[in-house]
Structure 1
């Protein structure tokens, strides 16, 4: 019969007559037969061998081949599953989102979210297979980008998972894809803009430990992390120019706290200034934010240094002021403070150590931040046009009026405007005009007017590039102002009273301070030979016998000093004493009799607080007994006294007029100046060791 003569059954019935070419027609057939054999029951000992050349039973090698092929097949299936095509993943994501939004099924949605929530840095243990491969996560992000319009607020969980995922430590192609996703997400759904911006700004401070360290990828430095964040932020600002309105409050809210490290504050400030390059509309707001935080730290430093001065001595304070190198900002190791090496364990406690650490950290913060601001403002003043210089100074003056001027005891922040205002005579006059406008304004609070007088007096006295003509003009302008105040209030004045006549005393003290430093520019010779530059020659060029002053100079001070206001009673004793010495030696005015009369007023002892300023004009506090009609005494606060921060003071070299004292009395060798400063005495002895003739402690 035809059926019996068919060769197929005979081959399946008997393995003895089966040859290799007829039993296994193809490699695929062989594999299939081998896999079926592996998962079938064990053959009995009487079963015939499949190979006529081997009749002793199935060799072990054959079973090993079966096991190997099964594992390979399973691995290929897993690999195939992981490497789905972009088109397939795109469709899966679309369906998963659609089902999630409709509420029918969220399993696929949760699986996609899990891909981005798995920590790629977790140890490779038994669950390591759960970590998605770089190809998988990249293709899923591509699929999300293709379905960006569907990621509305119903998919906020998935979006937040993507934004919180590790992206900064991956390869450059993935980073660029993530940046595209973030930008398109904000453009398609503006509700996510704040979340995206906040996520990016969060990396501007101290980079969280472990960021940029993903197994299987090259380590990414902190500096490169900052660059990647700026790349993303720049892209979003280009897509959404109006996004700067959302970014500004986030920058303010994310600014490091006062208790955060110096490294965090310095890094955040540096990144804020970089934003201005691609978002210039935020220039004023960013610079104002930095100035505001800077002043806050500045005031705290001044308070802390005054508290420590009587406790730890100048040597330790000098160590605290050593510059800190932030060029290693990329290092992960903490570089907080090595104050412990400075402090002796024998005479300090844990509380003292913590306080000193705080002081040093604050010094590092303000020194490095101001250094960055000097560098930021320099280009327009060094290479810009007149309009660019005026525009930059406008910004500095705006911050000065709104933040620096109303703040009591700011010590360093104001040196930005001090330095850049001296780049030209026109800029000098602009700053001086700003201060005089505030001093003369009747709408300003008295305390602000007093502060403006202190700033103007210190600027004119200390500014090395302030022309002689400007010194005389400001001196006469302030003199006219106190004449107006004297004519207005002297009729009702019964004696010195700082609380009632604060602006008068502040302006008079500014004049006394200017006279002490710039009397050479107020002389008749300087007025007759005005060439527009300050008189900075050696005192040997002056013939003290021939020094004379224009009548207006003497008239201004004489009327103010001998008025009912009695300013020598209220002004700082340090300044009054120095003025009396100079005026007497130059035969300009004799006020010692008035000073002796003032001593008969009831008052207690003086307590001198030497600050970072010139010790000659240190802050002097006096305790007044109850019932003294004289009231409180005016602080000797002159905000442009010598600058001491170690790193940023390089910008102010050549900006100062140093204290030179009285010719013929306070002369001394230059090599004795440091020894004089270390003495720290406050007596009025006119010898070579008098500390009042030096600018540094």
Structure 2
């Protein structure tokens, strides 16, 4: 679980500097925010509510606020219906001075004398449901008018210092009241009240932040549609919520620490529709512009939730046949951006789908939409930023990758942010590859992390279309040298293949085999001399040659007592054997036949050795009826299939290319996913490892 209350913040990519605060007066004499000394906008002009409207101004008076906050078509951002009548009856309204005194007296009598009649009346004004009409809406008084609400809120603003814990009922009523659907003048006044309340009474800060964050997901039906007011769209409601959050955080910079755990707690649940996750993710990312100190926390939270859903998809899809699972990916509804704020998610048209299939498709939509927003956000610094901006962005991605994604075995899509952006320049390629190499070589790392790093590095080098041939050869040589070093260390005590004891050796060997299957063209001596992959394809099989050290190290490792071809994934081994035999480079088929007759027994589960926080990267699986234990063929950068976000990865892949003279079809993407050549055989040899 990622802690959001972290003390170490990753530098913001393009942080918006906080604006200087104006001088604040005492909480008992709050300074009005609304300004009245502004020229009226021209008739017909549209004006966007912004933070400038909330700037503290010593010259303003609360009486002026009352006049300035009357509903008016000129100041409304939304388009008012001319036939809509506002809740106004100014002839019967009590003056602001009288209301202010009424509020003061009611609070005083409630706190000092436990007399709550006036206090309850004020509370009832804010608990009244504005959607209800008639005498039944309130028991003791009529439905409050627009001006009544504002006058009482102004009165409370004047005495916000008196709203201590004994007034929590009234304060919670105000915090829970309908405000996002009212006119702009009331919204500005309400935001002022929230800011002054949180600054004067710190005990209410959490309630204020929780209420605001709860409005950052999909907008429930009916919200923003109050009788007598123009309809307020979902996007405008979210704009108002961000304005309020920005204002509170400017008044209380330390509020970010209280906000982090609230953001995590308010994240949509598993049962919520995809639109809820996508909308909430979008609003979290938008917060970074005015709260850059939360950048690391926000992306850590999004990554954690994204990986959790991503893993659940892979687990659920195991209940389906491979073909059905692929169909579910292709059939997942691609939500339109304009529909993200709709409260009811689409996807009910597939009446014949099982409940499980619908759940998978809903989760696919969640991952697709959330990761698409992350691609969009990070594309800005990587495309237009300086080298420092790019490195800061990569640092942020790498931090979340190492702590959340790398230890997770079944993550299928979350890692593609790094796959895409790390290929933006050779320097970023080197940094990403170096991260894995450090983990592979570090004996202090857990076996699970070392094996996972080998799988990621192999998949990155094999699949990355923008990775230079020189980098492919350098990484391959580095892994080959490391493999030979492990062989020398392990072979002294080895009595036969043992995944439990020699996991780093087998994960490194499988990484080498996988890279060879995809990038053998770049590993040839012709490529080292400058030939392109297309030119290598034009050579005859007997003209294909590899550097001497490649054959030497591979031969020693393959025919060692560690016997990696018995433990590595049979599909990858089969493809490796086919390619090397075609080029007369290595001939391993006799060894494969021998391996069919070897049964490995007396293994303990790798889970007994693994860090319990991590899933099984190098898990042991039964190879058909042989009873042997192999590494799973997990390579995390296999083709990306999510419908919306895959547009970001166009041109990033090295697709599987058939081998000239060996394959009839050159464009199949079967890769190392060929058939398992290990058929049933007679068990004539047993190795007992304990």
- Shorter chain as normaliser: what TM range? 0.7 to 0.9
* CA distance in structure 2 between the partners assigned to 1:600 and 1:660 by the alignment: 33
**1:252-281 Cα shifts (integer Å, max 9, x gaps):** 111111221111111111111011110001
The match for 2:379 is 378
Pairing 1:28-39 to 2, within 5 Å after superposition: none
* CA distance in structure 2 between the partners assigned to 1:508 and 1:315 by the alignment: 29
What are the ranges of 5 or more consecutive residues in structure 1 without an aligned counterpart? 1-77, 344-351, 605-618, 685-697
Change over 3 Å in CA distance of 1:151–1:205 after alignment to 2: same
Change over 3 Å in CA distance of 1:79–1:364 after alignment to 2: closer
* CA distance in structure 2 between the partners assigned to 1:577 and 1:79 by the alignment: 84
- Report how far residue 188 of structure 1 moved: 0.8
SS at match of 2:491: helix
Contact 1:573/1:620 (8 A) holds in 2: no
- Report how far residue 543 of structure 1 moved: 3.8
Contact 1:262/1:364 (8 A) holds in 2: yes
**1:387-427 Cα shifts (integer Å, max 9, x gaps):** 11111001111111100010011100011111111011111
Contact 2:542/2:584 (8 A) holds in 1: no
Note the aligned Cα RMSD (angstroms): 2.4
The match for 1:553 is 550
* CA distance in structure 2 between the partners assigned to 1:499 and 1:126 by the alignment: 73
The match for 2:622 is 622
SS at match of 2:630: coil
Contact 1:523/1:548 (8 A) holds in 2: yes
SS at match of 1:112: helix
Contact 1:339/1:353 (8 A) holds in 2: no
SS at match of 1:182: helix
Larger radius of gyration: 1
Contact 2:456/2:635 (8 A) holds in 1: yes
Pairing 1:559-598 to 2, within 5 Å after superposition: 559-598=556-595
Q: 1:151 aligns with which of 149, 153, 163?
A: 163
TM-score, normalised to structure 1, is 0.78
Of 260-269 and 537-546, the range deviating more from structure 2: 537-546
The match for 1:400 is 401
Contact 1:323/1:646 (8 A) holds in 2: yes
Q: 1:85 aligns with which of 81, 91, 95?
A: 95
- Report how far residue 81 of structure 1 moved: 8.1
* CA distance in structure 2 between the partners assigned to 1:537 and 1:384 by the alignment: 34
* CA distance in structure 2 between the partners assigned to 1:587 and 1:340 by the alignment: 53
- Report how far residue 651 of structure 1 moved: 0.4
* CA distance in structure 2 between the partners assigned to 1:315 and 1:515 by the alignment: 27
The match for 2:126 is 116
What stretches of structure 1 move > 6 A for 4+ residues in a row?
Answer: none
* CA distance in structure 2 between the partners assigned to 1:93 and 1:220 by the alignment: 30
SS at match of 2:631: coil
The match for 2:448 is 447
* CA distance in structure 2 between the partners assigned to 1:481 and 1:507 by the alignment: 8
SS at match of 1:645: coil
The number of residue pairs the alignment matches comes to 570
* CA distance in structure 2 between the partners assigned to 1:301 and 1:285 by the alignment: 25
Contact 2:509/2:564 (8 A) holds in 1: yes
The match for 2:307 is 295
SS at match of 1:269: helix
Change over 3 Å in CA distance of 1:157–1:429 after alignment to 2: same
Contact 2:454/2:508 (8 A) holds in 1: yes
- Report how far residue 590 of structure 1 moved: 1.0
Contact 2:218/2:342 (8 A) holds in 1: no
Specify which structure has the higher proportion of helix. Answer: 1
Contact 1:522/1:553 (8 A) holds in 2: no
1:199 aligns to 2:211 (yes or no): yes
The match for 2:271 is 259
* CA distance in structure 2 between the partners assigned to 1:79 and 1:491 by the alignment: 94
**1:296-318 Cα shifts (integer Å, max 9, x gaps):** 111111122221226x7367425
* CA distance in structure 2 between the partners assigned to 1:293 and 1:470 by the alignment: 33
Select the structure with the greater relative contact order (CA < 8 A; seq sep ≥ 6): 2
Change over 3 Å in CA distance of 1:320–1:603 after alignment to 2: farther
Change over 3 Å in CA distance of 1:220–1:536 after alignment to 2: farther
Q: 2:655 aligns with which of 645, 655, 658?
A: 658
1:172 aligns to 2:173 (yes or no): no
* CA distance in structure 2 between the partners assigned to 1:528 and 1:315 by the alignment: 41
SS at match of 1:633: strand
* CA distance in structure 1 between the partners assigned to 2:168 and 2:512 by the alignment: 65
Change over 3 Å in CA distance of 1:538–1:165 after alignment to 2: farther
* CA distance in structure 1 between the partners assigned to 2:260 and 2:496 by the alignment: 52
* CA distance in structure 2 between the partners assigned to 1:133 and 1:458 by the alignment: 65
The match for 1:365 is 366
The match for 1:420 is 421
Pairing 1:98-497 to 2, within 5 Å after superposition: 98-124=108-134, 130-309=142-321, 313=324, 316-332=327-343, 334-341=344-351, 343=352, 353-497=354-498
- Report how far residue 206 of structure 1 moved: 2.1
- Report how far residue 560 of structure 1 moved: 1.3
Contact 1:499/1:632 (8 A) holds in 2: no
Contact 1:221/1:330 (8 A) holds in 2: no
Change over 3 Å in CA distance of 1:80–1:286 after alignment to 2: closer
* CA distance in structure 1 between the partners assigned to 2:320 and 2:390 by the alignment: 40
Of 438-447 and 552-561, the range deviating more from structure 2: 552-561
